[in-house]
Amino acid sequence: MLEVLTGSGLAASAGLNAYIPLLLMGVLARYTDLVDLPSGWQWLGNGWVIGILAVLLAVEVVADKVPVVDHFNDVLQTVVRPTAGGLAFGAGSTSETVTVSNPDTFFSSHQWVPVVTGVLIALGVHLLKSAARPVINATTAGFGAPVASTAEDATSAVMSVVALLLPVLVLVFLVGLVGFLFWFLRRRKDRQRERAAARGAGFRV
- Whether the predicted model's global pTM rises above the 0.85 cut: no
* Number of domains making up the chain: 1
Residue 166 has what pLDDT?
Answer: 75
3-state secondary structure of 36: strand
Q: Could you list the residue range(s) of the whole structural domain that residue 42 is in?
A: 2-204
Asked whether the beta carbons of 159 and 13 are under 8 A apart, the reply is yes
Report the pLDDT value the prediction gives residue 142, as an integer from 0 to 100: 67
Q: Pick the more confident residue, 169 or 88.
A: 88
Would you state the torsion angle of the CA atoms of residues 76, 137, 194, 131, taken in this order, to the nearest 10 degrees? Answer: 20
pLDDT value of position 96:
67
- In tens, the pLDDT along 4-47 reads 788 888 998 999 899 999 999 999 999 988 888 887 788 999 99
pLDDT in tens, 148-184: 888 888 989 988 988 888 777 777 777 777 776 676 6
How far is the first Cα of the chain from the last one, in angstroms, to the nearest whole number?
61
Question: Tell me: the pLDDT tens digits for 117-127?
Answer: 888 889 888 88
Residue type, 95: S
